[in-house]
Chains A and B, each alone.
Chain A
Amino acid sequence: MNAALLAADLPYWAQALLRVLGGVVAVLLPAGTIVYVFLFKMMSFMQSRLGPMEAGPYGSMQLFAEVGKWLQKEDITPERADRFIFKIAPLVVLVSTFLLVAVVPFGPDAWFTNFEAGVFYMLAVSSVSVLGILIAGWASANKYSLLGGLRAAGQLIAYELPMVLAVIGVIIQAGTMNLQDIVLAQNAGSMFGWDGLGNPYILTQFVGFIIFMIAVQAELTQTPFDMPIAESELVSGYMTEYSGFRFLTFFIAEFATAGVFSLIASVLFLGGWGIPFAWFGWDTMDSVDNWMNVVGPLIMVTKMMLLSFIIMWVRFSYPRFREDQLQRFAWKVLVPVSLVNIMITAILKVAF
């Protein structure tokens, strides 16, 4: 993408426009794919049914039918809601997803922005969605929504820490916070002198990966950590009062965030867009062939699908925790384990 753009030497506005379009594609395409493949089909198959079959072949157009349905629905605002905040809340959630995708590298030159503190930015921006959820819960003037919003806030804050701590292991190992360099470090690296697979951190940072995925699950409010939504107790929690387009926004944000977090996890732990550089004799970023800009995003999508499969699989299989159990789990298990993980990583880093 960007390599082509730079070669064409487009004016700034055109580049900006293309980036925005690319960002929209990078958010909506994974979201749509996840919804169709996992939510509609995989979940149904796991429950001995076929899922939507009427709209399009094998129901493939169902998502568009759903979008059309939601757009037709009335946009209801509760009488006692705080109107302005109520209305912008879904957008806040969605915007954080768009901001997240901005730092994800898709290929050696295919990225939207490439700056040094990528990981830091990513962790910072991902918590913006909490704000959106919290104000959605508060502004709805509904007790269920309020409980949902408060649960979301408590839960997401509790899980931010393990997530950060899990990523620190990666940062220590890679020696950089630039996501592109993390990809490079994984693919050009070697494990104990053997470079046949590069050095994907899922192998060397396995504990970190598990903690990161658990934290992602909680961050996404997917079962077993879906207490803020909790259909059977809080009747969809902070989303209770939303309808029509605003609900759709929440819905898109939910699955787009799942996609984006899978992308980030694949960058951090699975080697991102890269394949082990040793296979092709590359050693630095510059020596990577240009066709990786096309193949790279495909590799990314494959890895994303793999990770979202795991996220969704867990979601469809498990019951949910209780809020206090989750907090206990976060603070008493995940945080200490990830601290130990950091310590060991640091010691090993210094030792080798």
Chain B
Amino acid sequence: MTSTESLIDRRQLSYIAAQAADARLNVELETEGMTLNIGPQHPATHGTLRIIARLDGEQVVWAEPSCGYMHRGYEKLTEVRTYPQVTALVNRIDWLGSFANEVPFILAAEKLMEIEAPPRAQWIRTILFELSRIANVSLFLGDLGVQMGAITPVFMAFRDREYVLNLIEGATGGRFHPNFDRIGGLKDDLPAGFIDETRVVMKKLRNFCDEMENLLFGNEIFQSRTRGIGVIPKDVAMQYGLSGANLRASGVDWDLRRDQTLPMAWNKVDWKVWTHPDGDSYARCWVRLQEVRESTRIVDQLLDDIPSGPVMAKVPRIIKVPEGEAWVSTENPLGEMGYYVVSKGDLGPFRTKIRSASFNNISIVPWVLKGVYVPDIITILASLYFILGDIDR
């Protein structure tokens, strides 16, 4: 890994570049600027994000994302829905890692009701959570290639993600929107054969990670495109509330799976939180690659000792959540996904604040894009990794 000095040098360089870009506006021999509208329909925005960039040549002087093209008003919609109905809604927030969206909401509701899912349900939840992380991040790895002009990785990503989605569908019935989590447990137990199949798939996924490492991460062109680009220092990352791999890539050793006590099975197995000191695009991508590997390890270990028993705690048939407020966040594929649920003892939440990871992760874009080149906008956006539904909710 690169030494700390070189990191500091690079950070300084990026600051200098940004300042130079700022200063150039005031220089007398100013070239005529150009405003480039990236999006709302643009292949690099995974949906409809629009970025307005003022350019000087190919250098970005100022950039501002404009979102809202996919605002679905989930916070308002939760206010007219009952708790079971909300889970069907929230797994559409980050549609690539949908099961992971349900878990923190259900945990928040369970916290208010002061019940806990039986151990088997916790185990299966964790397995599905990690599977959706794998499905989500492996697509990220492929998409990264596309953003940089390599077309093959994305097909490999789709190929291997398919196995994971088949597993999720086999267990929950929904490929993208499992809606499998219930207050007090799970809708159903795993179907027979799930464990063996998952083991096979996890091997394939590790193989996929190796392939990606050879095809993309080891490629010198890829490295020259990402190393030292879009450096986010630790303190800035914290101020903007970056989370997940973006924060860990800036050298912050923080993983909500490890650092809080949740009724989930993460702390029952042995795994590692990967960090990277550089804070650049490469670091973010690299941390994610390692996380996919780590997730396959977590799943493998969890499969070894799933406790037997029921998957549903005793809950009333009509769920009324007692009055109170609860905040639960989990380490989702994109970062910290949390729900602040305010209940008034009703059938549905009184107010739900959905703290989605991408919203914070993208709010740093105006800061980080200053002074980079147009092609770097794409790599930085790709490495920050956002899902439009997760920004706009």
Contact = CB atoms under 8 A, between A and B. Distances in A.
A226 interface: yes
Interface string A157-174: 000000000000000000
Contacts of B149: 223-224, 226, 230-232, 318-320
B34 interface: yes
Given A319-B216, A321-B221, A147 B151 contact: no
B132 to A, nearest CB: 23
B348 to A, nearest CB: 42
A46 B148 contact: no
B152 A322 contact: no
Contact of A325 (B34, B36, B159, B224): B224
B74 interface: no
Interface stretch (B169-177, B230-238, B249-257, B371-379): B371-379
A234 B374 CA distance: 9
A141 interface: no
A313 to B, nearest CB: 10
Contacts of A233: 44, 374-375, 377-378
B131 to A, nearest CB: 21
B163 interface: no
Interface in B336-393: 373-378
Interface in B131-167: 145-152, 155-156, 159
A324 B147 CA distance: 18
A143 B159 contact: no
A317 interface: yes
Interface in A204-240: 223-224, 226-227, 230-235
B221 A235 contact: no
B373 A323 contact: yes
B43 A318 contact: no
A321 B156 contact: no
Contacts of A320: 148-150, 221, 225, 375
A230 B42 contact: no
B212 to A, nearest CB: 12
A323 B375 contact: yes
Contacts of A48: 155-156, 159
Contacts of A226: 149
Contacts of A321: 221, 224-225
Contacts of B315: none
B385 to A, nearest CB: 15
Nearest to A230: B149
Contacts of A43: 151-152
A143 B34 contact: yes
A317 B43 contact: no
B134 to A, nearest CB: 18
A47 interface: yes
Contacts of B219: 318-319
A230 B374 CA distance: 11
Interface of B: 34, 36-37, 42-44, 58, 145-152, 155-156, 159, 215-216, 219, 221-222, 224-225, 373-378
Interface of A: 43, 46-49, 143-144, 147, 223-224, 226-227, 230-235, 316-325
10 contacts: A43-B152, A226-B149, A232-B146, A232-B149, A234-B374, A319-B221, A320-B149, A320-B225, A320-B375, A322-B375
Q: Which 7 A-B pairs have the closest CB atoms?
A: A320-B149, A47-B155, A319-B148, A319-B150, A322-B375, A232-B147, A233-B378
Given A235-B43, A318-B150, 18 more contacts: A43-B151, A48-B156, A223-B151, A232-B43, A232-B44, A232-B146, A232-B378, A233-B374, A234-B374, A318-B149, A318-B221, A319-B148, A319-B219, A320-B149, A321-B224, A323-B375, A324-B373, A325-B225
